[in-house]
Structure 1
Amino acid sequence: MMSETSSSQQEISEGLATVRTVGNVFYNPVQEFNRDLSISVIRTFTRLFKDEQEEKNSKKKNEDNIVVTINKDTPEAGVKCEDGITILEALSATGLRSIRYAKEIPGVREIIANDISFKAAQDIKNNVALNGVENLVQPSHNDAVMLMYEHRKEKQFDVIDLDPYGCPTIFLDSAVQAIKEGGLLLITATDMAVLAGNSPETCYSKYGAISLRMKSCHEMALRILLQCIESHANRYGRYIVPLLSLSADFYIRVFVRVYSGAHKCKFTTSKLSHVYHCTGCDSFLLHPLGILKKNDKNKNQVKFGIPTGPPVSGKCDHCGHPHHIGGPIWSAPLHSPEFVQEVFDTASEKLGTFRRIQGVLSVVLEELLDAPLYYTLERLSGTIHVEMPPMMALRSAILNAGYKVSFTHMNKTSVKTNAPPRIVWDIMRCWAKAHPVSKKRLVDGSPASHILAIEPEKDYSFEIRPDANPASRKMGYVRFQENPAPHWGPGSRATAMVGEQKIQKSRNNQGKRKREVSQESTIEKME
């Protein structure tokens, strides 16, 4: 909730926090879901991390024959916990997120709310005092990258939250060094046009991967970001384990743990793949950078190898069109089901976006972990110009064929399956036989003409199965956000750091092209 306290001062209330700011400091109420979910994830991580530390200390003390005493006091939110976690919010702006963390997450020792803007740092200081959390939140006026580099050796953080405007990659090198062993990184990216394939050359320069324009571009964006984080971590003998990866509204958000181990880093090549995407029918195949082989002599030992390939011929086997090659992307699981289940079970109903958290996590728990990327119902039907089958019919056909299928939280009409493309297209051919395509639509050389010219290997059944309808759909959970009209979209960058001269120049340029066209039109009429 936002209100005006004076002509230039704004008051923002969200969760248990209230902040005040003067001038144009970026705040988007759509991001409440982001903050609510982050609170739920950090709460769960804090409990898990504390249990791991206690178990580790207990083993060490038992080995040294020391009497073990475990503090079983339940920590309270808003109260400083001396053996609690430390959190860095590197790009804090008003301090709203850090203040909410302080007031709503138990087991916290210290939170550093940092911003490079002097004005923002002053706002953070004032808002910390306004909310009475000086015991937990320490305002900081510093360059985020330098601040994290200062903590890469000593006083590393248990949790680092990076929520920048746009691309987060400039912060990753310092972040993967400043996080403790087993610590939690929360990273947001809002430059979706770059990640979703509109500018693959820019995506490579920023993330080290080629993005592709395909229906599953939002999942590809997540997987590009994860491979980028893994790449930065590997340089320092570290690697990541994703806990939860989300595409929501106009951004992506990942929650990953960071561990150390040079040997474990060797497994990275088997977690990354190039994507071969057909330009005609939107089919895709993944080709891993590395493969794992079992040692015949020692089954506990793994050999690392390089795959042969490519997995596709010069033209698509289904529609005869060429392929684009993208990636590398993260092709290992996006989530930890056990962790997501814990967050789902313990999320507070007091959170403003609780129903959406419940709905999104329910779909995440149903997603196939071993089937990267997805099709969409309308694209499958549109490619061959056939009447769109009911979603439950298509899902049933895939299940009847002996394969798995699921939705994904990223798209309402998503079809995520471990069925190979030839099976998917065979199923669509069977549907087209029962619902004939107009011959006028079958243009020579088109994807539809190529696909439908091939006879299906067998007749697939579209008989509806009860297990085709997932629990999240039956329960009627709020799974996908509708456009929240007044504040939809990423908004504009905060102007707290922008000089007055630049702001004035921007204002002068507003509508400049329309004015020029209007002037040209007036001159022409006078002539």
Structure 2
Amino acid sequence: MSDYPKVEIREGLVSIIVPDLSKYIVGNRPEPAHAPVFYNPRMEVNRSLSIAIINGYVNYTGKSNIIICEPLSGTGVRAIRYAREINGVSKVISNDISERAYELIRMNIDRNGLSDIINVHKDDANNLLLRIAREGGCDVIDIDPFGSPQPFIENSLRAIRDQGLLCVTATDVGVLSGKYPIKCVRRYGALPQKFPYRFEVGIRILISTVARYALSMDYGIRPLMSFLDGHYYRVCMLVFKDRAYALETLRNIGYSYYRPSTLQRGFISGYPIPGVNRYRLSGPLWIGNLWDAEFLMNYFMKGTRDYFSSRAREVAGLIGEEALGPNIPYALTTEVGRDLGRELPINDVISIIRGLGYQAVRSHFHVKGFRTNADLLRIKEIIMGK
């Protein structure tokens, strides 16, 4: 085993050895990317919510003996938690191209007594995915890279079975949400805009990127769960290897518009060319639902566990509420209260809108964000007392 500082940690129901991040400090904080093997404790929320999602998927589809693949495993914590905490798993495929990571994964698998369930490989992630595709595929693929998932999307779609679950993390939120628009065009083939709801634009661009790869293979997708947590986006979607679903997917790709003068926002269908072009547009992006409300209410929420961190349970609750809101990009309280001269509490804004008979729910994308089907300019006038 390579010689570098290590510590034992507990996460979920497992205990693993990870690099001692206190030895890799950059700017007064631990930097996981500088450790010999990548481990980010902040991604516990991602891992825990993914366990709830995959357990929900197993119950939702009625599948058993599922095979899960994690091509970018690092310490192996995600693969090991999946093997221990997900029902109906027959095999987990864990992989990392790094020799140090491979050694650490094997040690952690042995520590947890899971060598009969987890197969570990030391290979390039895309090579592994293509090999799995040739051997019949797997039910769940989890792409959790450091940075963009774009290089792994196409082969993940090849390796996943029909009606499989593809989960994708993107840590380049700044690129997707408009901070580096040209890089987003290069990497994702879409133009972001710094709209007030730019963090929603980003996740919709990510989904549409997967959708466009799927369409090139005559596949379709349907997001079950999408969320933002700090520095990363996470999307879990069903993949249908069926041309009929591809046509439905095509109808859910379009563009988003925003008009500052009227506070209007929404979606325009039409891909590759938008139906109208009177507005400043962002896209192409996903204009369908970001989540499946039935799945969240009846399957995902039941899969959250008391031993998840308080942050993981908080994010789950916020998304559960937001899923019941309208499929209209979120607004900010600062948009409707800009000329008021004071900060508007979000719960007050929501109460005013609901009192008028409209839908209004908080958005997890922004601390001041909410979704509503009301005319925001009219709401602003009411708040201003006009």
Q: For this structure pair, what is the TM-score category when the shorter chain's length is used for normalisation?
A: 0.7 to 0.9
Q: Aligned residue for 2:161?
A: 180
Which of 174, 187, 190 is residue 209 of structure 1 equivalent to? 190
Q: Displacement, 1:401?
A: 4.2
- Greater shift, 369-378 or 111-120, is seen at 369-378
Q: Displacement, 1:371?
A: 2.4
Taking the TM superposition and a 5 Å limit, the aligned residue runs for 1:217-232 are: 217-232=198-213
CA deviations over 1:274-333 (Å, ceiling 9, x no partner): 12234667643421116xxxxxxxxxxxxxxx87423x4xxxxxxxxxx53211111111
The letter of the residue matching 1:405 is A
> Partners in 1 of 2:252 and 2:199 — Cα distance?
19
Cα distance change, pair 346–151 in 1 and its aligned pair in 2 (3 A): closer
CA deviations over 1:358-387 (Å, ceiling 9, x no partner): 4333332332454231110023322x3544
> Partners in 2 of 1:35 and 1:137 — Cα distance?
17
Taking the TM superposition and a 5 Å limit, the aligned residue runs for 1:34-433 are: 34-49=46-61, 51=62, 53=63, 84-278=65-259, 283-289=264-270, 308-310=275-277, 312=278, 324-341=280-297, 342-351=299-308, 353=309, 355-367=310-322, 368=324, 370-382=326-338, 384-419=339-374, 423-433=375-385
Q: Displacement, 1:157?
A: 0.8
CA deviations over 1:110-162 (Å, ceiling 9, x no partner): 11110111221111112212221110111100111111112224320111111
Cα distance change, pair 9–307 in 1 and its aligned pair in 2 (3 A): closer
After TM superposition, the score normalised by the length of structure 1 is 0.65
Q: Displacement, 1:390?
A: 4.3
Cα distance change, pair 47–308 in 1 and its aligned pair in 2 (3 A): closer
C-alpha contact (below 8 Å) 1:386/1:432 kept by paired residues: no
Q: Displacement, 1:248?
A: 0.7
> Partners in 2 of 1:97 and 1:363 — Cα distance?
23
Taking the TM superposition and a 5 Å limit, the aligned residue runs for 1:457-468 are: none
> Partners in 2 of 1:132 and 1:431 — Cα distance?
60
C-alpha contact (below 8 Å) 1:269/1:288 kept by paired residues: no
Q: Aligned residue for 2:6?
A: 9
C-alpha contact (below 8 Å) 1:376/1:413 kept by paired residues: yes
- Greater shift, 6-15 or 205-214, is seen at 6-15
> Partners in 1 of 2:327 and 2:60 — Cα distance?
28
Q: Displacement, 1:391?
A: 3.2
For structure 2, the 5+ residue unaligned runs are 20-34
SS in 1 for 2:60: helix
Q: Aligned residue for 1:474?
A: none
- Greater shift, 137-146 or 15-24, is seen at 15-24
Q: Displacement, 1:402?
A: 4.2
After TM superposition, the score normalised by the length of structure 2 is 0.88
> Partners in 1 of 2:36 and 2:250 — Cα distance?
45
Higher Rg: 1
Q: Displacement, 1:237?
A: 1.2
- Greater shift, 364-373 or 406-415, is seen at 364-373
The letter of the residue matching 1:180 is R
* Deviant stretches of 4+, over 6 Å: none
C-alpha contact (below 8 Å) 2:268/2:275 kept by paired residues: no
> Partners in 2 of 1:269 and 1:242 — Cα distance?
14
Q: Aligned residue for 1:20?
A: 17
> Partners in 2 of 1:114 and 1:19 — Cα distance?
16
1:33 equivalent in alignment to 2:56: no
The letter of the residue matching 1:287 is I
SS in 1 for 2:208: helix
Please tell me the root mean square deviation across aligned C-alpha atoms, in Å: 2.4
CA deviations over 1:199-218 (Å, ceiling 9, x no partner): 11111111111111122122
The letter of the residue matching 1:15 is G
Q: Displacement, 1:392?
A: 4.0
The letter of the residue matching 1:90 is P
C-alpha contact (below 8 Å) 2:36/2:100 kept by paired residues: no
C-alpha contact (below 8 Å) 2:337/2:383 kept by paired residues: no
C-alpha contact (below 8 Å) 2:334/2:344 kept by paired residues: no
Q: Displacement, 1:400?
A: 4.4
SS in 1 for 2:245: helix
> Partners in 2 of 1:278 and 1:138 — Cα distance?
52
